[in-house]
Amino acid sequence: MQASVAIPASAPTRLQRALDWVERIGNKLPDPALLFVLLLGLVALLSWALSGVTWSVLDPRSKAPLVINSLLDGESITAFFSSMVNTFVTFPPLGVVLVTMLGLGIAEHTGFINAVLRALMQVTVKSLLTPMVAFVAILSHYAVDAGYVLVIPLAGVIFHAAGRHPLAGIAAAFAAVSGAYSATFIVPTSLDPMLSNITMAAAQILDPAHQVSPINNLYFTASSSLLVIVLVWLITDKLVEPRLVRSTPVDGDTSQVPSFDALVPHERRAMWWALASMLLAAAVLTMTAIPEGSAWRAPSGALTANDAPLMRSIVPLIFILFLLPGVIYGIASGSVKSHRDIIAGMSKAMGLMGYYLVLVFFCAQFIWVFSQSNLGVLLAVEGAEVLRAANLPVGVTLIGITVLSAVVNILIGSASAKWTLLAPIFVPMLMQLGISPDLTQAAYRIGDSSTNIITPLMPYFPLVVVFCQRYVQRTGIGTVVALMIPFSLAYLVLWSLFLLGYLALGLPLGPGAHYAYPPPP
């Protein structure tokens, strides 16, 4: 039987009333799919209106004067229609979500995930669920984008199973998976060498001999993970969940949510067989990846490089690592009678993705149009020029970099694409002010992470809306934005102060990193 939510309802605070207002206004917007269509039209009109303006700033990518491309001329219109299908099918999150959901669908349909969660609920203190979810969400950064598809929905399930509000679990996981994407533990993720390579290229515009370590922010991001876990814990339990209990009843189909009932003997045996198969598969993968000549390694020999087959195979590997235990659990427990039960699990998972596919189609078209227009580039370059002209103290300048990165992040979601655009402006500019590329990159990472969770233009945002609708049918953009604003503001303010404190104490940012430019001999 489902336990009741233990957090008592209370009179709303001023902040909670403000968030309620954000939710109401946000949910009065058109359906997200139509909203993307309207935004697409707005961008097209703006691009047409600004295409004839001569801009004095240079495009950091081409070094030529910045040009806004009109999307309403004949060539742009035909390019839009001719690329429409390819834009949809090559939208980066689409394949990640669908392939991962195939494996998850089998594991859920056979009862494997249900059994594991029920077992966890027997040994986990409910008051520690939030930090546990945040911890696992940060770990998911090593699996690239898989945390969006794995950790976020499972956090909703496990919170509901514990008698807590499921949207609170989804919010906590989303805040740690996406809002804290630059927080990691002591092992670097694929994002670290990617950003540092861009930083080094930007630094060499001014100093061709300057080198940047691929793990130049490692100590800072590792210590940031502890800050993130504490913030997610406090904000979820003290602010987000009490507001949800007061104003957002669960009214969705939760028939698949596991109960607190202990596993019966045959379910427990099946679960252990399934977990053993999962561990065996992981062990085989590890043993085949360790040798220096492993086919999983990149040509350079690295396992975590972007071109390493291991990193490119993360999603298919996750599919296998859920398919295998799901099937074994189903056979051992009796929930799988034939291969048709396996196909039924996949089909059911895909059936739940219908609305997401519609959202992705329109979201992909909008992002393509916005990218083609160069409006995002204009915002980034003009903002950086204002920051350069202000010539503020070091601490204030770093905060300015963080805030501007956060604003640009609302419109341009990709961390690497955004840094490719901003680094050639920020890095040389701050080097001339005596600020190292390592420190500039750290400030950028805070801004880049903080607003991921409040922009509907983030590619996985529509998926989070779909996850929430499982529990609260009226969930819209406003619901999710209102949930995530407290996390976003806390990250932006407290994480920035954390960086300034780090600077004041002189703690190392990472191996080979420095605060000042030129670096000390």
In angstroms, the CA 63 to CA 76 distance is 23
User: pLDDT at position 146, please?
Assistant: 66
In angstroms, the CA 433 to CA 439 distance is 12
Residue 6 has pLDDT above 50, yes or no: no
* Mean pLDDT of the region 199-212: 80
Residue 496 has pLDDT above 90, yes or no: yes
Largest Cα separation within the chain, whole Å, is: 74
On the CB side of 349, CA atoms within 13 Å amount to: 24
Residue 92 pLDDT grade (very low, low, confident, very high; cuts 50, 70, 90) = low
Give the end-to-end CA distance of the chain in Å, rounded to a whole number: 66
In angstroms, the CA 401 to CA 393 distance is 12
* Mean pLDDT of the region 194-206: 79
Which one is predicted more confidently, 414 or 174? 174
Query: What is the sign of the dihedral through the CA atoms of 482, 484, 490 and 495?
Result: negative
Q: What angle do CA 259, 260, 262 make, to 5 degrees?
A: 110
User: pLDDT at position 4, please?
Assistant: 39
Residue 444 pLDDT grade (very low, low, confident, very high; cuts 50, 70, 90) = very high
Count of other CB atoms within 10 angstroms of residue 242: 21
User: Contact at 8 Å (CB) between 335 and 110?
Assistant: yes
By C-alpha distance, which of 346, 350, 308 is closest to 330? 346
Residue indicated by tokens 């969006």: 148
pTM of the model: 0.70
Query: What are 465's two structure tokens?
Result: 């809306």
The residues near 474 (Cβ < 8 Å, ≥ 6 apart) are 27, 251
**DSSP line for 39-69:** HHHHHHHHHHHHTTPPPSSBPTTTSSBP-PP
Query: What are 30's two structure tokens?
Result: 């058109």
Residue 3 has pLDDT above 50, yes or no: no
Residue indicated by tokens 């520690």: 128
By C-alpha distance, which of 170, 177, 178 is closest to 154? 170
User: Contact at 8 Å (CB) between 487 and 231?
Assistant: yes
Residue 2 pLDDT grade (very low, low, confident, very high; cuts 50, 70, 90) = very low
Which one is predicted more confidently, 172 or 384? 172
What's the Cα-to-Cα distance from 232 to each of 128, 129, 342, rounded to whole Å?
12, 11, 37
Residue 78 has pLDDT above 90, yes or no: yes
Summary mean pLDDT of the chain: 81
